[in-house]
Amino acid sequence: MSLDRRLMQRLPKLLLLLLFTFVYAYPLFMLLSFSLKNNGSMYANPLGLSGEFHWGNYSEAWSRSNFDVALWNSVTITFISALLILLIGSMAAYPLARRKGKGATLLQGFFVAGLIVPMQLNLIPLFKLLHSLGLSRTPLGVIFLYIAFGMPLTVFLFSGFIRSLPKELEEAARIDGCSGAGIFFRIVLPLMKPIGTTVFILQFLTIWNDFFLPVVFLNTEKLKTVQIAVYSFVGQYANDWSHMFPMIVLSVAPVLALYVFLQKYIIAGIMSGAVKG
């Protein structure tokens, strides 16, 4: 087959890939363009490229919003919450996936039922509970809430993946004298790396992008997160676009970097789930 013929056969696929690349890359390009405009250029020509790029928007937005404080709070809360969700969720999913009986089925259904309960529905009881425990305006209280709301999806995904793992490995380890905890941490947990990475990304994105819980329970200058820092440029009658868009870029950058770093594990998790059923 000649080179020209092979190129013509692949041309529709290449054009389709270019189209999808443009669809996904154009919003990021416009976001970067908006972040380099002043308010006058934003109102005069919002969708076009201006001749002057205001790189100082980033430094001004950083200093005015105390972004270093917000970034540290978001990183701390997000990573601690996501890691604890992975640890506790995997430990809870293992016995539910391996044990049979009405009790295990009922308990797993209880976890799955948590997927349909919206977070906002429990706002008043949660506020009263955290206030009575002295955790209403502390990062620890918000971390506990993220762990609780992240359990249903985590247990559901982990339990489904564990059922696809062969039981022979666990039985062989049990014959060799390995304890239940040893079987989980030495055999099962390493095999869960693909789905664990996928769950970590899902929980990381959910917690990092959340605005509701921080604005209710952490609405102070020292405890604000990245999303509250972005919202600080929203006014009652006008928005400071020239500083809001740089803050949005800075808030999106860590998520994109994490995805690029872990993309091979995410793809592996998706492929393993597709192959194992």
Residue by residue, DSSP assigns 142-210 as HHHHHHHHHHHHHHHHHHHHHHTS-THHHHHHHHTT--HHHHIIIIIHHHTHHHHHHHHHHHHHHHHT-
DSSP element (H, E) containing 58 = helix 56-65
pLDDT of residue 34: 80
Closest CA to 172 of 186, 156, 158: 186
**Between 44 and 53, where is the model more confident?**
53
pLDDT of 78 over the 90 cut: yes
Output the average pLDDT for the chain: 82
- E-assigned strand segments in the chain: none
When pLDDT is cut at 50, 70 and 90, the band that residue 76 belongs to is very high
Q: What's the topology of domain 58-275?
A: MetI-like fold (1.10.3720)
Backbone phi and psi for residue 127, each to the nearest 5 degrees, phi listed first: -65, -45
pLDDT of 267 over the 70 cut: no
**Residue 221 CB partners (closer than 8 Å, separation 6+):** 66, 69
163-181 per-position pLDDT tens digit: 888 888 888 888 888 888 8
Mean pLDDT of the region 88-116: 82
